[in-house]
Amino acid sequence: MRKHLRYLIRYWRSRQDYDDPTWPLVAGLAFWLLLLWFLCFF
């Protein structure tokens, strides 16, 4: 899972498209998925 997150972060940084409205939406979704993953395993 961490490899996928690193790949996505590299992809977002390579785009340099922070004006895109989907960026905060996807970042928020990734944050919640990570939070749920931590809650399930710990």
Question: Which pLDDT tens digit goes with each residue over 1-42?
Answer: 677 778 877 776 666 555 666 777 888 888 999 999 888 887
Is the CA virtual torsion 27, 31, 34, 40 positive or negative?
A: negative
- Token look-up 């809650």 returns 39
pLDDT at 11: 76
Q: What is the distance between the alpha carbons of residues 26 and 22, in angstroms, rounded to a whole number?
A: 6
pTM value surpassing 0.75: no
Is the CA virtual torsion 16, 19, 21, 26 positive or negative?
A: positive
